[in-house]
Amino acid sequence: MAGTRKKAAEKEPTIEESFAKLEEMVRQMEREDISLEESFGLYEEGMRLLKSVNTRIGEVEEKIRLIDENGQVTGELGSSPEGKATLE
């Protein structure tokens, strides 16, 4: 099962690729000849992709907060200053 997870992670698109996919989905939804079913399917897929992108952006932001101006890691990934777990 670990091999399956690794393959899925390797195939995961970059944040930039995900944004390009979202833009293409919006263009498709703006077409006049798209059916309601197709539009709804694209909307659902887009929302899943957007959630994934937001999670990954949050992880990057957390990593950035942990690096000081000298490039040194100043904290531990997974905890915030308030003591709340943010990433695992």
Write out pLDDT tens, residues 45-61: 999 999 999 999 999 99
Q: Which of 71, 56, 68 is nearest to 12 (CA)?
A: 56
**What pLDDT was estimated at residue 72?**
80
| pTM assigned to the model | 0.65
Cβ–Cβ contacts within 10 Å for residue 17, how many?
11
Provide the CA 82 distance to its chain's centre, in angstroms.
24
Write out pLDDT tens, residues 22-45: 999 999 999 999 999 999 999 999
Residue with tokens 């992108």: 53
